[in-house]
C-alpha cells in the first residue's frame, strides 16, 4: 500500500510582527504528528532561545521570540 502524502490543510499566512515581541506562525497538516521542518530560505531552523517549535496533532507552530526585521 503506497504511503499517503502529508498535505497542508491550512498553509502559513503572512503575519505582522512587532519588533522585540514574539510572533507565532501556524500551519495545519492532513496527518497528525507528521515530521515538520521549519526553514528560512535554505537554512533549517533549530530549536533555541529564539525559535520554539511546537506540534500538537495536525497543528505545527513556530514561535519566534524577540522578533527582528531579519526574521521576515
Number of domains in the chain: 1
In this predicted structure, the answer to whether residue 13 has a pLDDT above a threshold of 80 is yes
Whole domain around residue 20: which residue ranges? 1-71
Instruction: Check residue 18 and give its pLDDT.
Output: 87
Using CA atoms, how far apart are residues 11 and 28, in angstroms rounded to an integer? Answer: 7
CATH code at 6?
A: 2.60.40.10
**Once rounded to an integer, what is the mean pLDDT over residues 47-70?**
95
How does the average pLDDT of the chain come out, rounded? 91
Q: What is the pLDDT of residues 18-54, one digit of tens each?
A: 899 999 999 999 999 889 999 999 999 999 999 999 9
Any idea how long the chain is? 72
Instruction: Check residue 1 and give its pLDDT.
Output: 66
Amino acid at each position: 500500500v503506497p504511503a499517503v502524502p502529508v498535505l497542508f490543510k491550512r498553509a502559513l499566512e503572512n503575519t505582522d510582527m512587532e519588533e522585540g515581541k514574539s510572533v507565532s506562525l501556524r500551519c495545519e497538516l492532513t496527518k497528525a504528528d507528521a515530521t515538520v521542518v521549519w526553514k528560512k530560505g535554505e537554512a533549517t531552523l533549530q530549536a533555541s532561545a529564539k525559535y520554539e517549535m511546537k506540534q500538537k496533532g495536525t497543528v505545527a507552530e513556530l514561535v519566534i521570540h524577540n522578533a527582528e526585521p531579519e526574521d521576515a
